[in-house]
Amino acid sequence: TTAVESFKFEAEVQQVLHLVIHSLYSNRDIFLRELISNASDACDKLRFEALSDATLYGEQGELKIRISADSENKTLTVSDTGIGMSREELIENLGTIARSGTRKFIEQLSATQKADANLIGQFGVGFYSAFIVADKVTVETRRAGSDQGWRWVSDGAGEFTLEPAAGLSRGTCITLHLKSDAEDYLQPWKLRGLINTWSDHIAFPIELPVLKEGKPTDEFEVANQAAALWTRPKAEISDEEYQAFYKHVGHDFNDALAWTHNRVEGNQNFTSLLFLPSKAPFDFTYNRDERKGLKLYVKRVFIMDAAEQMLPNYLRFVRGVVDSDDLPLNVSRELLQNNRQLDKLKSALTRRVLDLLDKVANDDAAKYAEFWAQFGALLKEGVTEDHGNRERIAKLLRFASTKSEKPDQLTSLDEYIGRMPASQEEIFYLTADSWNAARHSPQLEGLKARSVEVLLLHERIDEWMIGYLHEYAGKSLKNIAKGELDLDKLGEPKDKEQREKLKQEAADTVKRFKDLLGDKVKEVRVSDRLTESAACLVLEDQDMALHMQRLLKAAGH
């Protein structure tokens, strides 16, 4: 007597299913990538847990993935000898959406109705992609260390059933009952083609049936290299393989923008393979606290996702793997918190990422612009966070300026300095709460008249960031709205006598203004700043920018 229980999918799961099935039809192949990715993760997890309890392997010591097709029953099976799932894990992992960020993202997608494949790919479609090609999915699984197996069945329409299953081997076996328009996945050549393009980077053997005269037999053979990608020599790895690997570790659907792959030997011994995504993953906005996608391995054994421990917060967009030869295999999260070796690793990795960004910026300005549009704000955080690398990060910053016609025509500080006339000693900038407000600011008039370029800082974070960036390349950064501005040095000096005369003539007017404004201002003075406007507000050097004052006031300070 076996009790079959029915469960309803969480509402959000139904939404995900709907979006995935309807938006990814033309990217159907990805279901196989996702299932293999999960099988590989499951093998990694078992190998890690078995470090402290070798009995978890039981009789099956081999970690592997097997794929087979049954053309009579029109089923495709992906099985692994990984960690498996308990009953609770099945319900939790394949019936709910664990990450709260995903939930908000889905709500937003469903609301706008503009869900295209790229957007959906941002959260990594995962297991549910099976329903793109299958009208029924059976998951049979037995967790390592448990005697009890479970069978999970669903047609992806809102419910799943769960029942105990006897005689299962350790790990997970997923059977897809293919839709009639997806039967080409039964073709041996089709499967082989997909595995060949996608799975060489998977570190565990993937087995496919041996073919005899084009027909599958009962024997299996390994179809991939089954060596961890990062352990292989760079020259032997194609861009396609790097991209496939990126999608696996980065849980991303889009290609990576660039990567850096290095082996370090000496004081520390480690290999790193770090990727820059081309698109910000959705949880950048919705899941600030959770950082995923940078995996720590020790001697080829996956230990944990350890992005927080291995890179500073402002580089949280980086994805990839770090494989250390020096850390102990039994490292725990606690141990990672205060580990000097890890601190050194962290600064080495930070340098690698900054090197990579430098390289992209130098080699391919268009590509760097893409990066900047997605992650520029994070580098600005870096200026405030990473004292030691401040100058390097500043080199990577991009700003709008009075020399550009559009807000996205951006300049680097080096380019700005390259255009500075010999008489100019400081880097001038102006902060405002929008690009338009910045470029129409009366503060600019005097400088414009003298053709002096000014950087226009109009993003919210800029005011905060610039507080940490007092100089670059030996030149100080000067807010043109603060303190005295000596314009004479910069352009045609005006006749000194004439100006004194002007000041005298204006003395009465200035006094009237001062009387009128009273305590509202500290001082009223005749200014060189303006050419058209009648008056502008100027702050003392140490004052807070006006729009910041407005912001704080609005926030109730």
Contact footprint for ligand ADP (CB under 6 A): 34, 38-39, 41-42, 80, 82-85, 93-94, 124, 126-127, 172, 251
Q: Any binding-site annotation on 118? A: no
The alpha carbon of 99 is separated from its chain's Cα centroid by a whole number of angstroms, namely 16
What is the C-alpha to C-alpha distance for residues 327 and 309, in angstroms, rounded to an integer? 13
Q: Any binding-site annotation on 231? A: no
Q: Which is nearer to Mg ion, 78 or 379 (CB)?
A: 78
Q: Any binding-site annotation on 58? A: no
Minimum CB separation from ligand ADP for residue 58, in Å?
Answer: 16
Q: What is the CA radius of gyration of the chain?
A: 30
Per CB under 5 A, 122 contacts Mg ion:
no
Closest residue to Mg ion, Cβ-based? 126
Minimum CB separation from ligand ADP for residue 447, in Å?
Answer: 52
| Lookup: tokens for 28 | 């159907």
Q: What angle do CA 98, 99, 105 make, to 5 degrees?
A: 125
| Lookup: tokens for 173 | 């076996």
Per CB under 5 A, 312 contacts Mg ion:
no
Q: Which is nearer to ligand ADP, 159 or 305 (CB)?
A: 305
Q: Which is nearer to ligand ADP, 42 or 109 (CB)?
A: 42
Per CB under 5 A, 250 contacts Mg ion:
no
Closest residue to ligand ADP, Cβ-based? 126
Q: Which is nearer to ligand ADP, 248 or 316 (CB)?
A: 248
Per CB under 5 A, 121 contacts Mg ion:
no
Q: Any binding-site annotation on 127? A: yes
Could you tell which of Mg ion, ligand ADP, none binds residue 108, using a CB distance below 5 to 8 A set by kind?
none
In the chain, DSSP finds a helix count (H) and a strand count (E) of: 20, 19
| Lookup: tokens for 209 | 């049936």
Minimum CB separation from Mg ion for residue 469, in Å?
Answer: 40
Dihedral, 79, 237, 241, 208 alpha carbons, nearest 10: -30
Q: Any binding-site annotation on 125? A: yes
**470 exposure class (CB count in 10 Å sphere: 0-12, 13-18, 19+):** exposed
DSSP 362-415: HH-HHHHHHHHHHHHHHHHHHHHH-GGGHHHHHHH--BEETT-SSTT--B-HHH
Minimum CB separation from Mg ion for residue 249, in Å?
Answer: 11
**3-state class of 447 per DSSP?**
helix
Q: Any binding-site annotation on 172? A: yes
Minimum CB separation from ligand ADP for residue 542, in Å?
Answer: 49
**What distances in angstroms separate CA 278 from CA 171, 243, 313, 369, 436, one per listed residue?**
34, 11, 19, 11, 28
Per CB under 5 A, 38 contacts Mg ion:
yes
Minimum CB separation from Mg ion for residue 144, in Å?
Answer: 19
Task: Write out the residues near Mg ion by the rule CB under 5 A.
Answer: 37-38, 126
Binding residues for ATP: 34, 38, 80, 85, 93, 100-101, 122-127, 172, 333
